[in-house]
Amino acid sequence: MATKDLTKVKKHLILCNGEPCTLKGANNTIEYIRKSIKKCGLHDEVHTTRTLCNGRCDDGAIVIVYPDGIWYKNVDETAADKIVKRHLMKGEIVKENLLYNHNKEHIIKD
């Protein structure tokens, strides 16, 4: 596997792969989002990392976008498509899946 040139990376996606998220389809979502990133020509500027639990199991599958500080909840392939096409390509927050915005809106409701 080639080493990624991190000097080109503008966004880093943390993709939850903990057991509860996996049971909600996280593996398929992760593969889908990675393919979409590549298909949209964003591979060099978007890095993805598959993690274990991110601590929001009830809201899974979770995708976190940095450096934006945006946490998305209930991410399936449909939401992943919106995240790639709207957030990563246009800078628009996908409000329907927004869990937390570090900079402005604190959406979390326990």
Q: What is the pLDDT of residue 108?
A: 57
Q: What is the pLDDT of residue 107?
A: 59
Q: Does the reported pTM lie above 0.85?
A: yes
In a domain, 48, yes or no: yes
Q: Which percentage of the chain shows pLDDT scores above 90? A: 67
Structural domain boundaries, residue 93: 6-101
- Determine the average pLDDT of the residues in 40-53: 94
51 pLDDT more than 80: yes
In a domain, 42, yes or no: yes
What mean pLDDT value characterizes the chain? Answer: 90
**Residue matched to tokens 């993805």:** 48
Q: What is the pLDDT of residue 105?
A: 58
CATH code of the domain containing 46: 3.40.30.10
- Is residue 88 within 8 A of residue 11, CB to CB? The reply is yes
Number of domains in the chain: 1
In a domain, 17, yes or no: yes
In a domain, 107, yes or no: no
In a domain, 31, yes or no: yes
Task: Tell which residue, 89, 90, 106, has the closest CA to residue 98.
Answer: 106
In a domain, 58, yes or no: yes
User: Distance (Å, rounded) from C-alpha 76 to C-alpha 43?
Assistant: 20
In a domain, 109, yes or no: no
Predicted confidence (pLDDT) per residue in 58-107, tens digit: 888 999 999 999 999 999 999 999 999 999 999 999 999 999 988 775 55
In a domain, 52, yes or no: yes
